[in-house]
Homo-oligomer: A and B are copies of this chain.
Amino acid sequence: MDPTPATTRIAQFDVCYTQFLDPQGRARGELPGFAADADEMRDMYRWLALTRAFDKKAVALQRTGRLGTYAACLGQEAIGVAIGKALRPEDIFMPAYREYAAQFLRGVPMQNILLYWGGDERGMAYPEGTPAHHDFPLSVPIGTHVPQAVGVAYAVRLRKQPRVVLASCGDGATSKGDFAEAVSSAKLWNLPLVFLVNNNQWAISVPRERQTGAQTLAQKAFAGGLPGEQVDGNDMIAVRHVLERAVERARAGGGPSLVEAITYRLHDHTTADDARRYRSEDEVKAAWERCPIKRLKAWLEGRSWWTDADEERLQAEGAARAEAAAQAFLTTPPEPPQAIFDHLYERLPSQFEWQREEVKSAGPKGDC
């Protein structure tokens, strides 16, 4: 724009980027308070590692024909752990589908995730008594759950509850109108709502820069007048800090905001995908250098908060938990066939009874 005397600047917007640890795990400056708590930091590391162990197991189950299509979270574990740590039990989490770590922290048993990708709806019946029990299930239709978060947060505000709603979605999801309608409206009611964009650089085969003309995804916040910021999503400390700040601002009445967490999808899109078709091995290799687990481990070790023995114990725990989950999943008997009618309505209208009866008398047909 050529400014003329008749042109005045009326608004200005910034996008900031936060990173505490460099890829080698060296602190770039002063760290947030929680980083002084060795137990807490070790716990975060533990969840990263457990999630990776789970992920590995799930892929292995799929590769051996014992699980359906699975969407791995390899390399993106820190975002999930950050969500799990930033939210309080009473908060409401509305995931896309790669934030397993957050779900684990909120009480979703690992076998539930396996059941889900194994084709069993009971995978999304998260147990009573856990925070996850009031969380949303995974959402496959991309971005569609995001505007629902506006309604959930509205309900929270209506009831004057001190709860925060966090909806996460991928970089691809930010192209959907659903996402934009949510962002555009959230500030109207000053909702206690955080939008988290899990920018893993790819939406199946479409790279981030072919997804939108926007230079950052954080700036999509401005379309709704929200603050939007970027954070290194592979820096466990940074992503937790930034998310926690956004969540607590929302809780304190400071309104909605958007966080874009930069990460990288180290795995194929799902087990049904072959990413070598569309991206270079070099790119993936370079991304491994920014792995969140390696980075936090280096930092912990630098502080002498982590030993080889700790690591060995943790690896064993991860393998054992993943194996236990796999066993629980594999030994879960299928539902009776007529279960496909049992949660259609609160009470099945009599008009559909004969269909349920037909299915019941035809007997089991399931497989998988």
Q: A-side interface residues toward B, CB under 8 Å?
A: 1-20, 28-30, 174-181, 183-188, 210, 212-216, 218-220, 222-227, 229-230, 238, 245, 256
Q: Is A15's CB under 8 angstroms from B5's CB?
A: no
Kindly list chain B residues whose C-beta atoms are within 8 Å of the C-beta of A6. Answer: 18-20, 28-30, 238
CA distance in complex: A114, B8 (Å): 40
Kindly list chain B residues whose C-beta atoms are within 8 Å of the C-beta of A238. Answer: 6
Evaluate whether A18 and B11 lie within 8 angstroms (CB atoms) in the complex, with A184-B180, A223-B219 already known: no
Q: Is B175's CB under 8 angstroms from A177's CB?
A: no
Nearest opposing residue in chain B for A15, CB measure: B11
| A16 interface neighbour in B10, B181, B210, Cβ under 8 Å | B10
* Distance in Å: Cβ of A196 to nearest Cβ of chain B: 16
* Distance in Å: Cβ of A245 to nearest Cβ of chain B: 8
* Distance in Å: Cβ of A212 to nearest Cβ of chain B: 5
| A177 interface neighbour in B16, B18, B181, B218, Cβ under 8 Å | B181
Kindly list chain B residues whose C-beta atoms are within 8 Å of the C-beta of A219. Answer: 11, 13, 222-223, 225
6 tightest CB-CB pairs across the interface, nearest first?
Answer: A177-B177, A187-B213, A180-B180, A5-B29, A213-B225, A223-B223
| A1 interface neighbour in B7, B9, B16, B179, Cβ under 8 Å | B16
The copy count of this chain in the complex is: 2
Kindly list chain B residues whose C-beta atoms are within 8 Å of the C-beta of A188. Answer: 210, 212-213
Q: Is B20's CB under 8 angstroms from A15's CB?
A: no
Q: Is A14's CB under 8 angstroms from B11's CB?
A: yes
Interface centre among A1, A14, A179 (most CB of B within 10 A): A1
Nearest opposing residue in chain B for A188, CB measure: B213
| A184 interface neighbour in B29, B175, B229, Cβ under 8 Å | B175
* Distance in Å: Cβ of A321 to nearest Cβ of chain B: 33
CA distance in complex: A5, B20 (Å): 9
| A181 interface neighbour in B8, B17, B180, B183, Cβ under 8 Å | B180
Q: Is B214's CB under 8 angstroms from A222's CB?
A: yes
| A15 interface neighbour in B10, B175, B185, B215, Cβ under 8 Å | B10
CA distance in complex: A184, B5 (Å): 31
* Distance in Å: Cβ of A131 to nearest Cβ of chain B: 28
Can you show 17 pairs from A to B with CB atoms below 8 A apart? Answer: A3-B16, A4-B29, A6-B19, A12-B15, A13-B219, A174-B184, A176-B177, A177-B177, A186-B213, A188-B212, A213-B224, A213-B225, A213-B256, A214-B223, A214-B224, A219-B225, A222-B222
Kindly list chain B residues whose C-beta atoms are within 8 Å of the C-beta of A8. Answer: 16-17
| A176 interface neighbour in B179, B181, B220, Cβ under 8 Å | B181
Q: Is B180's CB under 8 angstroms from A223's CB?
A: yes
| A222 interface neighbour in B17, B29, B223, Cβ under 8 Å | B223
* Distance in Å: Cβ of A111 to nearest Cβ of chain B: 36
* Distance in Å: Cβ of A15 to nearest Cβ of chain B: 4
